[in-house]
Structure 1
Amino acid sequence: MAEVVRDAGRRYGTHPLYVTEDGGVLSYSQLDTGSDRLAAGLGRRGIGVGDVVALLLPSGPHYALCYAALAKLGAITAGVNERLSPPERGACVSVASPRLVIGTPALLDGIDPASKADTEFVALELSSPVGDDDALGGLAPLAAADADVPALDPDPDRPVAIVFTSGTTGMPKGAVFAGRQLDAISEVDGGRRWGGGGTSISSTPFAHLGTMTKLPQVLRAGGTSYVMAKWSAAAALELVERRRITTIGGIPTQVALMLRHERFTATDVSSVGLVALGGGPSTASLVREARAGFGAPVVVRYTCTEAGVGVGTMPDDPDEDAEETVGRARHGVELTVRDEAGGPLAGGEVGEVCLRSAATMTGYWRDPGATAAVFTADGAVRTGDLGYLDDRGRLHLSGRAKEMYVRGGYNVFPLEVESVLEGHPQVAHVAVAPRADPVMGEIGVAVVVARHGHDAPTLEALRDFAGAQLAAHKLPEAVVVVHELPRTAMEKVDRRALAEIAAGPPHERFSPSTAR
């Protein structure tokens, strides 16, 4: 990655890489020269090849500067999601066992340095934005006055990044990526070509897969990202119009909120040339709504942290591909659906989705047991997702294996039910969770957010709407109306919190004895 940072600095010079809401601008050349000064300063602190440094920094230029500097030293960056709670951030630091932690006082709050005797903590105030006068902003105390960085011996297997998984249960696990895997991701995403970048909005944490493993390709593209510290549909729409954003990329929830915002129809979105949905399931109704609303092609992407890259659709694919599937294996990716013993299943049979490519992680940081469990015998990643392949090689997702429930002896996948219910005109968002039932064992509860300006749909209305597309045992038998769905730090539905909501009193209850 270090060479890509240098090459991008030479190619794109003063062209903006990141622009922040407070007026800060980090250019490509500033990323290169600023990270040189940081690398020199960190090197004099003793940071070098193989050392782990945890970043507890807000997403934006400061984070990118530190990440680039550490790559130039051959050190390993462990990015900690700023949206996690203090105990969760502390758990990530414990797993990483870093030599150094760089963070802001706010993000370091709640983490006891005394409990990590072998780790140095550096707290920095980052109130000053990066900019032309001082590319380092509040990072200056870590930097050297010169930019004397020793050259690194090439080693594609040297670890570069630790990316923590975004699960909602248990201790975090750190997926390790080396230089060769970042190169493989760049090859899949853009053929390792230079240029072609436009303007986009950056609203997901930099500690996530999107920056930690894709920064080299972002730099090659040469575009400009407008960083939003706190995302909102209104602010995102304003950016689209004012900055002439060319690519809308984000989780489906964000795109849905933009489309359904009261200001959407008055916003000029004519600059948008592509909408990319990933990080969560996209329903057919949302894909159609996004295509019509933005007047642009819509692509969907699917992978997991450990796999690096996975499956997707292309802008020129038939509309039905993005509406009904998550597409085909991307270039260089081996996609299989397997049974519990790891054997391949025939097309149309539901099993666990497995992915293998040159981009697949090396393993979990210092966790050989978990590493062995997540890989198949032939080196594919077990995603934990269920799905099937059709006769055109397209992947249809059924949902998470652990989210499936059994009603009266029949398996029900919440994702399948949610995809249908979200097409109801009164539904903005919906998630389905099981509730224990003395007769059926488990029943489905629809937790619903009503569309703006609409009353919440009744249970009868939801069942009537979905009954034409789903078997009777898949239909919800209770409904709970909420103002918003519970979400994790990565804006995915928090299934643990959802189960608690579903276990509470329903607004309406259907009697299973009268099921069709």
Structure 2
Amino acid sequence: MLPQTILNAARRFGDRAAFRLASGASVSYSDLDRASDEVAAGLAVRGLGEGDVLLLSLPSGPEYAVAYLAAAKVGAVTAGANPRLRARERGLVADTVDPALVLATESLAGGLPDDLAVELVTPTEDPGRMLRTLRVAHHNVPDLAEDPGRAVCICFTSGSTGDPRGAWFTNRQLAAIAEMDSGGAWGSGGHLVAGTASAHVGVMTKLPWQLASGATIHVMDRWDAGRLLDLLEHHRLPAVNGVAAQIALLLRHPDFDDHDLSGIRAIVVGGGPSPPALVHEARRRFNAPYSIRYSSTESGGIGLGTSLEADDEEALHTVGRPRSGVEAEVRGENGRPVEPGEVGEMWLRTPSTMSGYWGDPVGTATALVDGWLRTDDLASVDPAGCHRLAGRSSEMFIRGGYNVYPLEVEAVLGTHPGVDQVAVVPRPDEVLGEIGVAVVVPSNANRPPTLEELVAHGRSDLSSYKLPSAVRIVDRLPLNAGDKLDRRALAAEETGRQADG
């Protein structure tokens, strides 16, 4: 799919900028097609072909895209290592996919096994010199036969242990995602901002329709609130996209109120539920509706969402309903749907779902059952048909014999006026086994909420065993490489505090 897409895009859009860097330098659609042709020839000369894995440990940007497109032109499978990974994590990614070749910058090569073929890349803003050492001119690579089942990319996520798992996708899934996200349209144009790393599922599985749109994609190697605000204002972008933490950083930028953001018509936020206080503030200050999108790497970044016309109950406390083409069920441990209001595991069925975990047939068989994806997310369905997340199965803890679901507690505590952000994590306890700790970023650092105030606030909506037994005030909540809340780090810190007495 990708080879034909970039070929057609180059013919249609030619010298239009496909990527624009922070410096103002740009890479055109013609540049992308020509460079990826020459890199594809270089990969073929090195022996890469259909089914081989090319691992990219590169900064986000056009060079990543050129390598990805080139690999697709020879039938190789591209795996991406997030630039924010540490050396140990990078090594685990490489072990998972056993690549035939790795392209890495010197700063992102640490941790790669010594026995791998690694070619170092020097980033440049000159389209004619991108991936220069791999390019072979005037060498035709034979066109691939059309094959919907050909593997195209591997996107990494973390398993229950935190180790990387590679969700792999074929042409069939990329075509389905393009249809679901854009209706298969060509030439809509405009401007897009790449808010996540190029290795993220939100880029790798969506690049086909983004190229088909003819849009100019603005690249931020590292996400920056000030630069995004400038782009939103300058290009009159109709929507701001990101995860909740990024929206919070935009709102807290000292120059936020100096920007004209009247062009924004929607705030679309993925990565899980958003704190109610954040939704309130974002809607007011952007003067735009706020839609929460629920999905996962395994689902191809497609799932559920709240309506832009949602009332407060839906917008603040749920992740909405399945998108068109998506089915969702909440099932019990027996694999059968539970009654409305009961907590169970979210199962999804969508044509965008991964083919499996690369090199992990056992994990694949656990996650994919009769065409359904087991998400490991706990949820319930309310009377309006909206889904409310209760956390991950692995995040649930047991206090005195009762199950506590952190997201359920956070949804209530997050409505306290003194709470800006909150995460509930377990702490070992000699009597109850585990207790809940509310880790809070206060709205006012000089007047943080007390445990007594939080308990009083939550008592009318939560059973007593779900209420926190302790509170810890922090300046910010830790995020992982995917800009999601790092619950493991918080839980580990509570375990350490308990051990220290």
Q: Which residue of 1 aligns with 2:57?
A: 56
Q: Which residue of 2 aligns with 1:370?
A: 363
1:99 to 1:260, Cα distance in 2 relative to 1, 3 A = same
1:355 to 1:104, Cα distance in 2 relative to 1, 3 A = same
Matched, 1:125 2:126: no
Which residue, 411, 417, 432 being the options, matches 1:425? 417
Aligned mates of 2:166, 2:271 — CA distance in 1: 18
1:141 to 1:228, Cα distance in 2 relative to 1, 3 A = same
> Could you state the TM-score of these two structures normalised by the residue count of structure 2?
0.93
Task: Report the 3-state secondary structure (helix = DSSP H, G, I; strand = E; otherwise coil) of the residue aligned with 2:148.
Answer: coil
Structure 2, unmatched stretches of 5+, are none
Which structure 2 residues correspond to residues 436-455 of structure 1 after superposition, within 5 A?
Answer: 436-451=428-443, 454-455=446-447
Aligned mates of 1:243, 1:422 — CA distance in 2: 34
Aligned mates of 2:393, 2:18 — CA distance in 1: 40
Deviation at 1:351, TM superposition (A): 0.5
Which structure 2 residues correspond to residues 88-127 of structure 1 after superposition, within 5 A?
Answer: 88-113=89-114, 116=115, 119-126=116-123
1:168 to 1:19, Cα distance in 2 relative to 1, 3 A = farther
Deviation at 1:292, TM superposition (A): 1.7
Matched, 1:329 2:322: yes
Contact 1:447 1:502 (C-alpha < 8 Å) held by counterparts: no
Deviation at 1:221, TM superposition (A): 2.5
1:389 maps to amino acid: V
Contact 1:385 1:399 (C-alpha < 8 Å) held by counterparts: yes
Deviation at 1:323, TM superposition (A): 2.2
1:10 maps to amino acid: R
Per-residue CA shift, 1:166-217, capped at 9, x if unaligned? 3472432111100001011111111111233533332311111011111112
Q: Which residue of 2 aligns with 1:464?
A: 456
Aligned mates of 2:11, 2:255 — CA distance in 1: 41
Which residue, 259, 273, 281 being the options, matches 2:265? 273
Aligned mates of 2:19, 2:106 — CA distance in 1: 23
Deviation at 1:147, TM superposition (A): 5.8
Per-residue CA shift, 1:265-290, capped at 9, x if unaligned? 22221122221100122133322322
Contact 1:203 1:229 (C-alpha < 8 Å) held by counterparts: no
Task: Report the 3-state secondary structure (helix = DSSP H, G, I; strand = E; otherwise coil) of the residue aligned with 2:202.
Answer: helix
Contact 1:91 1:171 (C-alpha < 8 Å) held by counterparts: yes
1:214 maps to amino acid: K
1:248 maps to amino acid: V
Task: Report the 3-state secondary structure (helix = DSSP H, G, I; strand = E; otherwise coil) of the residue aligned with 1:307.
Answer: coil
Task: Report the 3-state secondary structure (helix = DSSP H, G, I; strand = E; otherwise coil) of the residue aligned with 1:398.
Answer: strand
1:463 to 1:266, Cα distance in 2 relative to 1, 3 A = farther
Deviation at 1:137, TM superposition (A): 3.7
Per-residue CA shift, 1:85-131, capped at 9, x if unaligned? 01101110111111111110110123232xx3xx42100111x21xx
Which structure 2 residues correspond to residues 112-261 of structure 1 after superposition, within 5 A?
Answer: 112-113=113-114, 116=115, 119-126=116-123, 128-129=124-125, 134-146=126-138, 148-167=140-159, 169-261=161-253
2:479 maps to amino acid: R
Contact 1:275 1:298 (C-alpha < 8 Å) held by counterparts: yes
1:358 to 1:413, Cα distance in 2 relative to 1, 3 A = same
Matched, 1:404 2:396: yes
Aligned mates of 2:290, 2:296 — CA distance in 1: 20
Aligned mates of 1:181, 1:291 — CA distance in 2: 33
Aligned mates of 2:96, 2:405 — CA distance in 1: 33
Aligned mates of 1:197, 1:286 — CA distance in 2: 31
Deviation at 1:408, TM superposition (A): 3.0
1:179 to 1:281, Cα distance in 2 relative to 1, 3 A = same
Task: Report the 3-state secondary structure (helix = DSSP H, G, I; strand = E; otherwise coil) of the residue aligned with 1:69.
Answer: helix
Contact 2:14 2:30 (C-alpha < 8 Å) held by counterparts: yes
Aligned mates of 2:16, 2:274 — CA distance in 1: 34
Deviation at 1:437, TM superposition (A): 2.3
Aligned mates of 1:73, 1:19 — CA distance in 2: 26
Matched, 1:285 2:286: no
Contact 1:162 1:176 (C-alpha < 8 Å) held by counterparts: yes
RMSD (Å), alpha carbons: 2.1
1:452 to 1:214, Cα distance in 2 relative to 1, 3 A = farther
Which residue, 333, 337, 340 being the options, matches 1:340? 333
1:229 to 1:268, Cα distance in 2 relative to 1, 3 A = same
1:463 maps to amino acid: V
1:137 to 1:210, Cα distance in 2 relative to 1, 3 A = farther
Contact 2:197 2:221 (C-alpha < 8 Å) held by counterparts: no
Q: Which residue of 2 aligns with 1:513?
A: none
Deviation at 1:427, TM superposition (A): 2.6
Aligned mates of 1:162, 1:336 — CA distance in 2: 26
Q: How much identity, in percent, do the aligned residues show?
A: 47
Q: Which residue of 2 aligns with 1:305?
A: 297
Q: Which residue of 1 aligns with 2:19?
A: 18
Task: Report the 3-state secondary structure (helix = DSSP H, G, I; strand = E; otherwise coil) of the residue aligned with 2:127.
Answer: coil
1:171 maps to amino acid: D
Aligned mates of 1:454, 1:364 — CA distance in 2: 47
Per-residue CA shift, 1:395-421, capped at 9, x if unaligned? 211111111122233322111222222
Contact 1:182 1:359 (C-alpha < 8 Å) held by counterparts: yes
Q: Which residue of 1 aligns with 2:70?
A: 69
Aligned mates of 1:420, 1:282 — CA distance in 2: 12
Aligned mates of 1:179, 1:345 — CA distance in 2: 34
Q: Which residue of 1 aligns with 2:348?
A: 355
2:140 maps to amino acid: D
Deviation at 1:393, TM superposition (A): 3.0
Contact 2:272 2:292 (C-alpha < 8 Å) held by counterparts: no
Contact 1:198 1:246 (C-alpha < 8 Å) held by counterparts: no
Contact 1:200 1:249 (C-alpha < 8 Å) held by counterparts: no
1:20 maps to amino acid: L
Contact 2:195 2:241 (C-alpha < 8 Å) held by counterparts: no
Task: Report the 3-state secondary structure (helix = DSSP H, G, I; strand = E; otherwise coil) of the residue aligned with 1:270.
Answer: coil
Task: Report the 3-state secondary structure (helix = DSSP H, G, I; strand = E; otherwise coil) of the residue aligned with 1:81.
Answer: coil
Contact 2:398 2:434 (C-alpha < 8 Å) held by counterparts: yes
Task: Report the 3-state secondary structure (helix = DSSP H, G, I; strand = E; otherwise coil) of the residue aligned with 1:306.
Answer: coil
Contact 1:199 1:244 (C-alpha < 8 Å) held by counterparts: no
Aligned mates of 2:363, 2:175 — CA distance in 1: 25
